[in-house]
Amino acid sequence: MKKFGFIGLGIMGNAMALNLVKAGLDVTVWNRNSDKCVDLVAQGAKQGSTPREVAETCDITFTIVSDPAAALAICEGPDGIIAGIGEGRSYIDMSTVDDATSQKISAAITEAGGRFLEAPVSGTKKPAEDGTLIILAAGDKSVYDDALPAFEIMGKMSPYLGEIGQGAKMKLVVNMIMGGMLSIFSEGVSLGLKADLDGEQLLEIIAAGAMANPMFAVKGPMLLAEKYDTSFPLKHMQKDMRLAVDLGDQLDLSLPTAATSNESFKQARKAGYADEDIAAIYKTVK
């Protein structure tokens, strides 16, 4: 049986690692805050002392952390992934980062003798818990083939997208669209309520027409109740919007709607809603 490592046990990582453990896989976990390892160890996981140890002792190590800086930090230094990776072992970064960061990590892992795959995920807390994420893999095809059984436990769809960077770009495009949709949805709900429309009827009408989608179905009641239990922290969406706009700049493509939505998320961060759910953008709109 292959040994799997899992680093980063936040909202997403904890649920993803737990699904691997429940499926009977040999899993070693690590998190900067070691308290987050306790429940997983109780369920049958092992606990590594450093990212290096996890990479040294596992055939495939997964990581999902908050941003490019965190993704690089996990890899670097005497206790990092690069120090522990070696011939025959693989590293899969499932964080949402820009393609330049992914390229940098790939080059360092390959130079150290390991194999690398990027595999950012589309989905939030509930899909992570249910094992229905969409995993956007790109890079070393042999790593993809080896990891596919684990991907099928964590997700409902795991397309292989080609060379390094394609997974990162796909994820930024998907999240850019999601952020823009949520921004205009918040404005629409706010306008409807200001105009004395019934909120529940508004959501019913949206759900019955061409705009119906799972995100509106989940976030709509959150907006009306103004309860923002976090499944996707707002600060991470703003980071993804920023990276998408940056990608547009690199490709000389104007993205005015995405740029405006990014400013809305930045306003929400400055207002103190960074750790709340992405739906909390509604607070700054209403």
Which positions are annotated as active-site residues? 171
* 22-32 as b/e: b if 16+ CB within 10 A: eeebbbbbbbe
DSSP E strands: which ranges in the chain?
3-7, 26-30, 46-47, 60-63, 90-93, 115-118, 121-122, 133-135, 138-139, 155-157
Q: CA-based Rg of the chain, rounded to a whole angstrom?
A: 20
Six token digits for residue 68: 């490019």
Tell me, what amino acid is at 161?
L
Strand, coil or helix: 7: strand
Sheet with 133-135: strands ordered across: 121-122, 133-135, 155-157
Report the distance separating Cα 227 and Cα 34, nearest Å: 29
Give the C-alpha separation, 271 to 265, whole Å. 10
What is d(CA 265, CA 27) in angstroms, rounded to the nearest whole number? 36
Report the run of H or E that residue 248 belongs to, with start and end: helix 234-250
